[in-house]
């Protein structure tokens, strides 16, 4: 079965803690008892175990293709599926990419090292900040992040901070600190109604009193004290980050603590080839001087990774309009409600002239014009639309700038994880990565997959989700082995409320913190009204239960007159009060986060999801030089990069985050490009655009953050639709930092369905045409959280490395996205959000837990999680308990298990070993499931690596042990029962009632894996019950023998005998084929080829045993199924002679009668595995092509190997009963 059945690959070792737990469990608990009560009869069942048994004994929960499809990755679904919603995603466990994130996060949590995050966002300004916050919370729940601190900046920072805090609260992340950041140049920024229309807007009293700046340094200091790393996510203007960098404490605290700073912005190369902040990036444009400062400092400071996530990355990671469908979570509802007006407002803004934008203090770059809007948000078929026409019906989706940035920030420390998603551009001579270096190089490996990841991250914050990438984030089983990274703290800078992706990025950060990928999280909210953005960030964290995450108000992102749209803080009842914000402000908070990280021995990652003003300030602060080089691991920027003629990175001025404060963006990019002490990863719009969350992803969720995200999504996208129609003069007049490249065409391409009418203007509603949202900041947050986990990072992202050797870009171009699988990246984003909202991301189908009904019971019962118990709470799962190895079929009880944190270790605990918590992956072609263990296929999934290794280490073979070793479907049960009846002198009933009767029908590894038996039970078995079945190859026989286990093949364990039944492969294939799972042609081809079949396939498994039989004929008996059926008396005597038994004729006759198919069915209680055991094969009606397939693929190679296979004759009259013929 691949990795699980072959010798373990080098370095594939079990976690010692888990092994000890499993071994101690085997010693102290009998699977046949529960506490002090044996529960073989209903009255003695534990209180919560139903007396209703699962029908048919063992249950194949993956029996049908439809069931497998239901639980499989959503990436297989059409993009426009009406079921592509948050609720649907939650019901279907998300995608496989999320498992990678879970694994890295779990490892981080288990070794006590997580990435903390400071997120600076302009919450409410756009919905992506809130979505980024949700994604950050989801990322924290996956374990990628430990804590999240949020700084809300930009104008109206208090409201934005309250929105962030309310979002956190609504997501259950009440511990997320949210502080008011700086207003900087955005204090005059007008706010749209949708920006703060939020039912969960937190009161100001819940904001961190330190303020954004001080809270950031406090977070850094605590991160350092805890020995963790931090990332700072800049999802808004960079004023706060610039102040952090300029603060002397930055140099004192940040180095060695701040791992990376991730900025949603953009970079462009200067004339000298250096990377500069892109003035066109929205976050940069808010406060261009700060952005330039941040970019320049972080570019030049190689002690930190600076990751810029640009609009190019975000443009390919859209969330479709249906991203929040199916969720009644308040944040999802807010995002949905606000999306249309937000886009409509943007549509109006893009029509503004430069003068109008200036007058309106709108920092939207003139490149963000109607054509850009169309290209970014609307469907290609959208009609020509005037400025005042609704664009929503034509919207295809949203570019999740801040969400993408948040994902980048959270995953960049995990190379395997990061490179699954991103392919950043690495700026020459700096630790700067750019994700979205250009329109052609988005830095996203697969935009569609990353869009789904962003979607699932958002959903993770608001409901249950589980995908492969998310599972990787959450997997705790192998710290330091499979996942060789160390979680860092995170400093996230975002413009929460500006776009939803900042809030979602924050949600994702919280989720990743809970998975262990992120340690302490610190958030700085910047851009106009940064106080309210910080309040939004803090409120978001509170709603997520991340109350401890400090949030401070950052700068105004260089956009003091930035227009504040109503949707930015709409539908946010959890907007945190201002007093909950860190009173120190974003700058000081950031340095505090750096200091805390350094003192705690951690690294910190900086995630820049907004204007780079704050980051520039941090870099300019003398403390940056003191703290950052030894503390900042990576800097992840959601922005954009351009490639100079010499190949070096420069800031893309068209990047939204950079355009907020172009000067700061240029400074930050240039500084980080030149400072090789820091790794800079830029996540661009190209990456984010391919990682969309559907418009209705949160529909159906009751979580307040989901409700807000749902409610605000529409107005925010509508506002953006309006903004992209603004002329350059209008944007300047309105202080709209939206680049002119964000025109209607961009909007259409980014957000709208392909069939959106072409006539839509900025005055049209586009919501009905919206397909989803680009999770820019969420993606950046994932990048930041995984950046220090090489396996995760590389699994998710394939960043482009600039010649400087330390600057990367994810989303280098539309064709070079830097994300390994866009759909999985999107699902990861969704799962992080779902996890943040419902805190259920720690678990997924197939997890092993130990449970007991009372803390008074000493013994624990092993249970396997099957599926969430809908309607019984987000922490309730239905689990399967396998019981009673002394009956043929055993018993399966289906019980509810409440996996609440308060009862962990009291009534339940995780019980995992190597290979049994890897993601269950669907093979939809064959209707089967498998696991990937250290990159190797393990099939079947239910026989785990740990079970096999425990047997190899602990099961001592005895002389007289008998192993039945045939390939599945070749007569193992028949031979098993034959041997047992012989050992019981022909008494079939006694054989079926003897100890370990379950072993007649099940491989030994399976019964051990599911907890039906343990090693002490096996040691106590009488010799007549020590007949075991395995499908392993000879070198992997699951029993302990030093020489044999070395693979020397010098001999089997002394006295051990093996009986290897073999059957016509065509009959074996038919026996294993289930027409409900896949077509016959497909299964037959796969069976013959073998690589997708369990245990290396029929031919390879039998060849291995044939070779061993030739070497040890006295210990290995070769017998055919056909001779057992055609000449049963001779077969019984053959087996008896091999076992040195001397049965009488009466015993032989009784044994022959016992192995009659009908008698076996009665004795074995009609076991389902006997369904195909009554007949020999009849192939007279087979298609010649199928006969030729088996001849070429199995029979001919078998003859060449000298392998003996018996075939049944096929006369024209009925089934073959003629003498078997040897090949």
pLDDT tier at 362, thresholds 50, 70, 90: confident
- Summarised one tens digit per residue, pLDDT across range 616-647 is 998 999 998 999 998 988 889 888 888 888 88
CB atoms within 10 A of CB 981: 28
Residue with tokens 């073999």: 1062
* Residue 392 vs residue 562, higher pLDDT: 392
Domain ranges of the chain: 96-275+288-316+401-521+532-683+777-837, 943-1064+1097-1172
Q: Distance (Å, rounded) from C-alpha 840 to C-alpha 846?
A: 14
pLDDT at 580 over 60: yes
Q: Hey, which of 240-244, 339-343, 915-919, 1162-1166 has the most confident mean pLDDT?
A: 240-244
* Residue 1056 vs residue 920, higher pLDDT: 1056
Give the pLDDT of residue 648. Answer: 83
List the single range of 127-141, 431-445, 925-939, 1026-1040 with lowest mean pLDDT: 925-939
Q: What is the 3-state secondary structure (H, E, C) of 912-951?
A: CCCCCCCCEEEECCCCEEEEEECCEEECCCCCCHHHHHHH
pLDDT tier at 1215, thresholds 50, 70, 90: very low
Distances in Å between the alpha carbon of 1187 and those of 549, 969, 1193, 1200?
Answer: 65, 19, 10, 18
- Summarised one tens digit per residue, pLDDT across range 761-783 is 888 998 888 887 788 888 888 88
Average pLDDT, the chain: 76
Give the pLDDT of residue 473. Answer: 66
Q: Distance (Å, rounded) from C-alpha 242 to C-alpha 1121?
A: 76
Residue 517 in contact with residue 410, Cβ under 8 Å? yes
* Residue 330 vs residue 765, higher pLDDT: 765
pLDDT tier at 985, thresholds 50, 70, 90: very high
pLDDT at 924 over 70: no
Q: How far is CA 854 from the centre of its chain?
A: 33
The torsion defined by the Cα of 409, 413, 415 and 417, in degrees rounded to 10, comes to -60
Q: Distance (Å, rounded) from C-alpha 1047 to C-alpha 392?
A: 65
- Summarised one tens digit per residue, pLDDT across range 994-1045 is 888 888 888 888 888 887 888 888 999 999 999 999 998 888 888 866 454 4
Q: Distance (Å, rounded) from C-alpha 1113 to C-alpha 1100?
A: 19
Nearest Cα residue to 131 out of 764, 692, 932: 692
User: What percentage of the chain has pLDDT greater than the value 70?
Assistant: 76
- Kindly tell me the sign of the dihedral angle through the C-alpha atoms of 898, 900, 903, 906: positive
Distances in Å between the alpha carbon of 242 and those of 258, 332, 537, 579, 785?
Answer: 15, 32, 19, 23, 21
The two tokens of residue 552 are 């401070």
- Summarised one tens digit per residue, pLDDT across range 802-812 is 888 888 998 89
Residue 495 in contact with residue 610, Cβ under 8 Å? yes
Residue 1004 in contact with residue 951, Cβ under 8 Å? yes
Do strands 1057-1062 and 876-883 pair parallel, antiparallel, or not at all (unpaired)? Answer: unpaired
Residue 552 host element (H or E): strand 551-553
Q: What is the mean pLDDT of residues 551-578?
A: 82
Give the pLDDT of residue 459. Answer: 63
Give the pLDDT of residue 997. Answer: 83
Cβ contacts of 43 within 8 Å, gap of 6 or more: none
CB atoms within 10 A of CB 749: 28
| Cis amide bond preceding 693, omega within 30 | no
For Cα atoms 356, 357, 363, give the angle at the middle one, nearest 5 degrees.
Answer: 175
The half-sphere exposure of 1217 on its side-chain side, counting CA atoms within 13 A, is 6
Give the pLDDT of residue 106. Answer: 53
pLDDT at 46 over 80: no
- Summarised one tens digit per residue, pLDDT across range 780-800 is 888 888 888 888 888 889 999
pLDDT tier at 569, thresholds 50, 70, 90: confident
Q: Distance (Å, rounded) from C-alpha 1012 to C-alpha 1010?
A: 6
Give the pLDDT of residue 298. Answer: 84
At the top level of CATH, which class does the domain 943-1064+1097-1172 belong to?
A: alpha beta
* Residue 514 vs residue 828, higher pLDDT: 828
Nearest Cα residue to 151 out of 578, 437, 568: 578
- Kindly tell me the sign of the dihedral angle through the C-alpha atoms of 305, 406, 899, 928: negative
Residue spans of alpha helices (H) in 236-287: 239-246, 248-253, 282-286
The torsion defined by the Cα of 998, 1001, 1005 and 1007, in degrees rounded to 10, comes to -30
Residue 821 in contact with residue 419, Cβ under 8 Å? no
- Summarised one tens digit per residue, pLDDT across range 694-717 is 676 666 566 778 777 877 788 888
pLDDT at 543 over 70: yes
Residue 302 in contact with residue 676, Cβ under 8 Å? yes
- Summarised one tens digit per residue, pLDDT across range 1068-1121 is 998 888 887 788 888 999 999 988 888 878 999 999 999 999 988 999 999 999
Q: What is the mean pLDDT of residues 969-993?
A: 92
Q: What is the mean pLDDT of residues 206-223?
A: 90
pLDDT at 980 over 90: yes
Residue 205 in contact with residue 579, Cβ under 8 Å? yes
- Summarised one tens digit per residue, pLDDT across range 470-499 is 666 655 333 333 445 666 888 988 888 888
pLDDT at 1141 over 90: yes
pLDDT tier at 755, thresholds 50, 70, 90: confident
Q: Distance (Å, rounded) from C-alpha 619 to C-alpha 612?
A: 10
The torsion defined by the Cα of 143, 260, 499 and 743, in degrees rounded to 10, comes to -130
Nearest Cα residue to 239 out of 285, 208, 280, 281: 285
Helices 239-246 and 288-300: angle between axes, nearest 10 degrees: 50
Give the pLDDT of residue 55. Answer: 29
- Summarised one tens digit per residue, pLDDT across range 224-283 is 998 888 888 888 888 888 898 899 998 999 998 888 888 888 888 777 777 888 888 878
- Summarised one tens digit per residue, pLDDT across range 58-90 is 222 122 122 222 323 333 223 333 333 444 343
Q: Distance (Å, rounded) from C-alpha 1080 to C-alpha 1066?
A: 12
Q: What is the mean pLDDT of residues 864-880?
A: 65
**DSSP character for 877?**
E
Residue 894 host element (H or E): strand 891-898
CB atoms within 10 A of CB 280: 38
Q: What is the mean pLDDT of residues 534-540?
A: 85
* Residue 415 vs residue 504, higher pLDDT: 504
Q: Distance (Å, rounded) from C-alpha 454 to C-alpha 458?
A: 6
């Amino acid at each position: 079965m691949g990795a699980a059945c072959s010798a373990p690959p080098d370095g594939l070792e079990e976690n010692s803690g888990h092994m000890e737990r499993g071994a101690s469990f085997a010693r102290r608990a009998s699977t046949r008892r529960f506490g002090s009560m044996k529960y073989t009869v209903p009255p003695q069942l534990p209180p919560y175990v139903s007396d209703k048994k699962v029908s048919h004994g063992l249950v194949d929960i993956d029996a049908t293709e439809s069931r497998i499809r239901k639980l499989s990755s959503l990436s297989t679904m059409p993009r426009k599926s009406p079921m592509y919603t948050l609720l649907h995603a939650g019901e279907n466990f998300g995608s496989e990419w999320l498992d990678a994130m879970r694994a890295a996060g779990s490892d981080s949590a288990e070794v006590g090292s997580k990435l903390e995050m400071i997120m600076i966002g302009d919450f409410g300004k756009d919905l992506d900040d809130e979505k980024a916050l949700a994604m950050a919370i989801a990322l924290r729940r996956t374990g990628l992040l430990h804590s999240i601190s949020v700084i809300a900046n930009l104008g109206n920072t208090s409201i934005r901070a309250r929105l962030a805090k309310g979002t956190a609260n609504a997501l259950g992340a009440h511990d997320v600190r949210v502080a008011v950041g700086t207003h900087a140049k955005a204090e005059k920024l007008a706010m749209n109604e949708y920006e703060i229309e939020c039912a969960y807007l937190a009161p100001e009293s819940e904001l961190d009193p330190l303020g954004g700046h001080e809270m950031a340094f406090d977070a850094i200091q605590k991160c350092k004290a805890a020995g963790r790393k931090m990332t700072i996510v800049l999802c808004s203007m960079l004023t706060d980050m610039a102040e952090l960098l300029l603060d002397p404490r930055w140099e004192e605290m940040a180095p060695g603590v701040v791992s990376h700073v991730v900025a949603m912005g953009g970079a462009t190369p200067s004339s000298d080839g250096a990377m500069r902040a892109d003035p066109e990036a929205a976050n940069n444009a808010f406060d261009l001087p700060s952005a330039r400062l941040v970019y320049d400092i972080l570019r030049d400071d190689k002690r930190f990774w600076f990751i810029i996530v640009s609009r190019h990355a975000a443009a390919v990671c859209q969330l479709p309009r249906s991203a929040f469908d199916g969720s009644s979570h308040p944040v999802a509802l807010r995002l949905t409600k606000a999306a249309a007006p937000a886009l409509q407002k943007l549509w109006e803004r893009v029509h503004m002239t430069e003068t109008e934008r200036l007058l309106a203090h709108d920092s939207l770059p003139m490149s963000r014009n109607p054509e850009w809007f169309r290209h970014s948000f609307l469907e290609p078929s959208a009609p020509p639309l005037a400025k005042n026409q609704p664009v929503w019906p034509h919207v295809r989706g949203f570019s999740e700038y801040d969400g993408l940035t948040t994902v980048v920030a959270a995953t960049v420390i995990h190379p395997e994880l990061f490179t699954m998603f991103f392919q950043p551009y690495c700026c020459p001579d700096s630790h700067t990565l750019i994700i979205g270096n250009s329109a052609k190089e988005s830095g996203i490996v697969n935009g569609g997959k990353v869009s789904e990841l962003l979607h699932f991250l958002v959903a993770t914050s608001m409901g249950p989700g589980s995908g492969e990438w998310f599972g990787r984030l959450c997997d705790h089983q192998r710290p330091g082995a499979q996942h060789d990274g160390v979680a860092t703290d995170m400093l996230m800078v975002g413009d929460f409320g500006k776009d939803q992706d900042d809030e979602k990025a924050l949600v994702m950060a919280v989720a990743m913190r809970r998975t262990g990928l992120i340690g302490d999280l610190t958030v700085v909210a910047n851009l106009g009204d940064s106080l309210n953005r910080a309040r939004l960030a803090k409120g978001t964290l509170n709603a997520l239960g991340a109350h401890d995450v400090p949030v401070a108000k950052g700068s105004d992102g260089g956009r003091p007159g930035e227009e504040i749209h109503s949707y930015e803080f709409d539908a946010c009842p959890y907007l945190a009060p201002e007093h909950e914000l860190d009173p120190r402000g974003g700058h000081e908070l950031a340095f505090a986060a750096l200091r805390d990280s350094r003192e705690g021995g951690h690294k910190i990652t900086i995630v820049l999801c907004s204007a780079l003003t704050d980051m520039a300030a941090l870099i300019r602060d003398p403390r940056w030089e003191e703290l950052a080089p030894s503390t900042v691991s990576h800097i992840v920027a959601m922005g954009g990069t351009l490639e100079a003629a010499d190949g070096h990175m420069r800031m893309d001025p068209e990047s939204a985050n950079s355009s907020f404060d172009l000067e700061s963006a240029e400074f930050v990019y240039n500084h980080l490009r030149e400072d090789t002490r820091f790794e800079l990863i830029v996540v661009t719009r190209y990456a984010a655009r391919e990682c969309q969350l559907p418009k209705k992803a949160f529909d159906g969720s009751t979580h307040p953050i989901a409700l807000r995200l749902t409610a605000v999504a529409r107005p925010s996208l509508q506002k953006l639709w309006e903004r992209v129609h603004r002329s350059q003069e209008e944007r300047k007049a309105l202080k709209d930092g939206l680049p002119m490249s964000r025109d209607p065409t961009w909007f259409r391409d980014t957000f709208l369905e392909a069939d959106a009418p072409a006539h839509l203007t900025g005055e049209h509603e586009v919501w009905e045409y919206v397909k989803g949202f680009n999770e820019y900041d969420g993606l950046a947050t994932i990048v930041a959280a995984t950046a220090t986990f090489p396996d995760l990072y590389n699994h998710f992202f394939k960043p482009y490395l600039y010649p400087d050797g330390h600057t990367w870009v994810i989303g280098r171009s539309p064709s070079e996205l830097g994300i390994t699988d866009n759909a999985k990246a999107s699902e990861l984003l969704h799962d992080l959000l779902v996890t943040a909202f419902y805190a259920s991301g720690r678990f997924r189908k197939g997890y092993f837990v130990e449970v007991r009904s009372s803390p008074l019971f000493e013994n624990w019962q092993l249970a396997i999680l099957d599926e969430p118990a809908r309607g019984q709470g987000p922490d309730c799962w239905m689990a399967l308990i396998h019981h009673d190895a002394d009956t043929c079929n055993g018993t399966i009880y289906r019980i509810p298990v409440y996996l609440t944190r308060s009862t962990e270790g009291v009534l339940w605990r995780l019980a995992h070993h190597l290979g049994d918590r890897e993601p269950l992956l669907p093979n939809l072609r064959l209707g089967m499931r498998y696991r990937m263990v250290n990159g190797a296929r393990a099939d079947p999934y239910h026989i785990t690596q740990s079970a096999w290794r425990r047997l190899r280490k602990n099961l001592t073979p005895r002389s007289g042990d008998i192993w039945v070793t045939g390939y599945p479907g070749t007569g193992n049960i028949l031979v098993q029962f034959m041997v047992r009846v012989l050992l019981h002198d022909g008494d079939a009933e006694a054989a079926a009632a003897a100890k370990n009767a379950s072993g007649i029908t099940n491989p030994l590894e399976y019964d051990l894996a599911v907890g039906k038996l343990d090693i002490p039970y096996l040691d106590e078995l009488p010799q007549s019950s020590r007949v075991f079945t395995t499908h392993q190859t000879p070198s992997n026989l699951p029993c302990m023998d030093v020489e044999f286990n070395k693979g020397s093949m010098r001999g089997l364990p002394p006295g051990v005998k093996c009986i290897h039944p073999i059957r016509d492969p065509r009959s074996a294939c038919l026996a294993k084929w289930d027409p409900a799972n896949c077509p016959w042609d497909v299964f037959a081809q796969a069976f013959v080829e073998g690589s997708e079949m369990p245990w290396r396939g029929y031919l390879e498994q039998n060849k291995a045993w044939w070779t061993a039989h030739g070497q040890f004929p006295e210990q290995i008996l070769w017998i055919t199924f056909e001779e057992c059926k055609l000449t049963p008396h001779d077969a019984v005597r053959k087996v008896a002679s091999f076992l040195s038994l001397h049965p009488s004729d009466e015993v032989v006759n009784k044994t022959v009668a016992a192995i009659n198919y009908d008698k076996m069915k009665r004795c074995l209680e009609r076991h389902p595995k006997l369904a195909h055991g009554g007949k020999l094969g009849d192939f007279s009606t087979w298609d010649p092509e199928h006969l030729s397939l088996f001849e070429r693929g199995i029979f001919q190679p078998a003859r060449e190997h000298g392998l003996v296979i018996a075939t049944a004759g096929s006369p024209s009259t009925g089934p073959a009963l003629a003498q078997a013929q040897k090949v």
